[in-house]
Amino acid sequence: MMAAMPRILITSGPTREFLDPVRFLSNASSGRMGAALAREALRRGYEVVIVSGPVAVDYPPAARVISVVTTDEMLEGCLQVFSDCDGTIAAAAPCDFRPEAISERKIVRSDAGLTLKLRPTPDIIGTLGRLKQSQQWTVAFALETQAGLARAADKLRRKGCDLIVVNDPATLDSPDARVVLLDREGHTRSAEGSKDAVAAAILEEIERRVADWRIR
């Protein structure tokens, strides 16, 4: 059932994948882009649901926030709400690897070191892309250190997204962002500045295209 008021699901922040009760794999995602997207979407009259990993940022009180830790939990949170949303912007940086096993006890430091086997975690935006109904849209983020646009175009297709936001690792824990928006037809638009300004550009592109996406 679609919401009467248009509703956007925003994923935000990092996830954590634990090796033992103390140590985890993660990344420096701050949740600031997710928070900026939430403020901008609310300003434009959307309802906003945020599924967020552990962050220190404050989300707008008008947004509903589902707090998660691991990538599995982030996917589960998204699946709870996605069918009631018009679309999703996947600004989170979920861990895409996790240890094969989690030690129940803190692993003891040893001079011999440690070999850690990692497995891929579930692909959140890819899963939502497969589940989406014809009236729904998905926007992915791609964090690329090289060959950014070619790799992002491939990701856009594989994951069934409508738009992909390509950014640089320097963006992760910064107040500013520099991104390229890439659509399925290969059109690009650059946006740069504060995360608020970049969030506004992303929402503007989504609103400009959403009528097309719905009749595709």
Residues near a copy of itself (CB under 8 A):
16, 19, 21-28, 54, 56, 93, 95-97, 100, 105-107, 109-111, 113-120, 123, 143-146, 169, 172
Sign of CA dihedral 80, 18, 148, 205: positive
Chain centre to alpha carbon of residue 19:
23
- Residue 82 C-beta: closest distance to a copy of itself, Å: 21
- Residue 182 C-beta: closest distance to a copy of itself, Å: 18
Check 23, 26, 27, 160 and give the catalytic one.
27
Closer to a copy of itself by Cβ: residue 62 or 114: 114
Using DSSP, state whether 76 is helix, strand or coil: helix
Closer to a copy of itself by Cβ: residue 3 or 22: 22
Decide: 7 and 48 in contact? Cβ < 8 Å.
yes
- Residue 213 C-beta: closest distance to a copy of itself, Å: 26
- Residue 104 C-beta: closest distance to a copy of itself, Å: 8
The closest of 139, 7, 140, 138 to 63, measured between CA atoms, is 7
CA distance between the termini of the chain: 20
Contacts of 76 (CB under 8 A, 6+ apart): 68
Establish whether 27 is a catalytic residue: yes
Closer to a copy of itself by Cβ: residue 6 or 99: 99
Closer to a copy of itself by Cβ: residue 53 or 87: 53
The closest of 45, 16, 51, 7 to 31, measured between CA atoms, is 51
* Enzyme catalytic residues: 27
